[in-house]
Homo-oligomer: A and B are copies of this chain.
């Protein structure tokens, strides 16, 4: 039972078909499975439904699949930084379903955990709840949301052993762990490939059971979307920030 494939194209062989649903990990450009996205682009598969928190930026990440019009529909929470996305969306070439970020994360987690539906406060009384069941529990209103399960998930991890046990690094974890659980087949790209036993079993974020195939992608330069720094002379400026408005 070999999970490690020599390259992204080999790892995706036989898994791609037009009209399929693909989950892609990452938040912005952080923790995105970019080598696997490249291979999907090269495959020419089209009419895809892509579930991913964001849509990349022009020419980077999922932006690459938008450029080639391989995506028919996105399920995302925020797509702010992509001009090609806006063009296709406004032109009616691309459908988008916006989910609140936490609802999206929970829908994916539910799909992977055999939960077909759950209730959440998020979005009650807003466009998000339109057409969905709203129910009261203990005097508060909640909207019912459905689990999400894809044909294929592609994820990026920092380290992985050949059994498929994965460790993510810092905020590059984001959507990757849930997506790994919520697809017929999950393909992982790992920056560091090690042997079983080299990762402390208490530190594993994604157990190997969820990983069907994997590739080793030795470090290449990662893109930064918003490079914010402080000057050494200045007093420390704080750096809080939120995705909402």
Q: Which residues of A contact B (CB under 8 A)?
A: 106, 110, 113-121, 137-138, 140, 142, 146, 167-170, 173, 200-203
Contact = CB atoms under 8 A, between A and B. Distances in A.
Nearest to A205: B202
B114 A202 contact: no
A232 to B, nearest CB: 22
B114 A118 contact: no
Q: How many copies does the complex hold?
A: 2
A133 to B, nearest CB: 10
A149 to B, nearest CB: 10
A107 B162 CA distance: 34
Contact of A116 (B106, B113, B116, B142): B142
A117 B120 CA distance: 8
A206 to B, nearest CB: 13
A116 B144 CA distance: 10
Nearest to A140: B116
